[in-house]
Structure 1
């Protein structure tokens, strides 16, 4: 739970997906009641759901039979979600995340390139370290054992 975010994680087999989503819906109902009690408003339109599984298993999921619902609003299943700056997809492949990081780094380098003839080398090194190299370093512990 963060300042304005909450996440619910559950582990399930394909056969138990229905009861698992029912348990998530029960948790959401409890959250709704708690937030109503304390005067907090949860916006289900900004919410997302994702099922992380292998590609072969993902095609066997009947998305209509397992809707995630908060206060009568169905929360859509997404192919990718953003979690504290990490872009996660259904297979945890990190390809979406790497593409986003690559675009950010390229845009930053392109912006700095305009200053290449104006700035001294120590300033260029400082800018590269502070504006470019931190991008792939954020949450780098998640990349352990990835190909």
Structure 2
């Protein structure tokens, strides 16, 4: 729940599609009953549902486009939805979100180029961080581990354009030396930094609880099965890796 936005999630296997639909409809009926008893109304026309999974698993599902109901009225199935500024797609690849961020970033850079001669290098860097790269920093711990190679390259292209705006880079020259001289991390390294910083906060404070409980602790490494580590190893909270 967030303000007046209520979201219901239910994990299920493709073979349990009918049972999952029935459970979701039961929850929606309970929510609708509670709202009616508290002088509130749910608008089915503003309600949507999405099936999230791999293309292979989604293809196995039966036709459920009209199976999710609120007050007997079917709600619309969508492939993408915006959640607190993050565009989520049914395959969790976040391509549309990155495409929108990149388009907005290039547009802002185009506007900034008009005043570039009047700005110092430090101010150019500050403006790029605040107005352009901040869009890509937002929620990068969520979409970062899920990116396709082409999407990751698009993000790096945005930073490369920012570097050409901030510094005097000769044509066809590599951007990396200029980023290193300015102590600027590339976007992939920046996402890893944000993720490790978040994990450090979750581990030291044990909050939020739902993220802390997703951590998997291991005391033995596969290469050294007889050696006990002094500190536990940490698995990624959003995806599992085999040791």
Is 1:143 aligned to 2:170, yes or no? Answer: no
TM-score by length of 1: 0.88
Number of matched pairs = 147
**Normalised TM-score (structure 2):** 0.56
Structure 2 equivalent of residue 9 of structure 1: 9
Structure of greater relative contact order (alpha carbons < 8 Å, 6+ residues apart)? 1
Query: What are the superposed Cα offsets for residues 80-134 of structure 1, whole Å, 9 maximum, x if unpaired?
Result: 1112222121111121221121112112212222222333443333221211121
Inter-partner Cα distance in structure 2 for 1:32 and 1:64: 20
In structure 1, runs of 5+ residues without a counterpart are none
3-state SS of 2:146 partner: coil
Considering fraction of residues, name the structure with more helix: 2
Q: Distance in 1 between matches of 2:6 and 2:13?
A: 23
Is contact 1:18-1:66 (8 Å) kept?
no
Correspondence for 1:53: 53
RMSD: 1.9
CA gap of 1:106–1:6, structure 2 versus 1, over 3 A, is: same
Distance apart, 1:52 and its partner CA: 0.9
* 2: CA distance, partners of 1:28 / 1:87: 23
Which has the greater radius of gyration?
A: 2
Q: Secondary structure at the match of 1:82?
A: strand
- The answer for the alignment partner of 1:130 in structure 2 is 130
CA distance in 2, matches of 1:124, 1:54: 41
Aligned partner of 2:36 in structure 1 is: 36
Q: Structure 1 stretches (4+) deviating beyond 6 angstroms? A: none
Q: Residue 39 of structure 2: SS of its match in structure 1?
A: coil
Which residue in the other structure is 1:111 paired with? 111
User: In 2 relative to 1, CA 65–88 (structure 1 residues): closer, same or farther, beyond 3 Å?
Assistant: closer
- When structure 1 is superposed on structure 2, of 41-50 and 63-72 the one drifting more is 63-72
Q: Give 3-state SS (helix, strand or coil) of 1:87's partner.
A: strand
Comparing 115-124 with 85-94, which one deviates more in the overlay?
115-124
Structure 2 regions of 5+ residues with no counterpart? 148-243
Alignment check: 8 A CA contact 1:55 1:91 kept: yes
Q: Is the 8 A contact 2:44 2:73 kept in 1?
A: yes
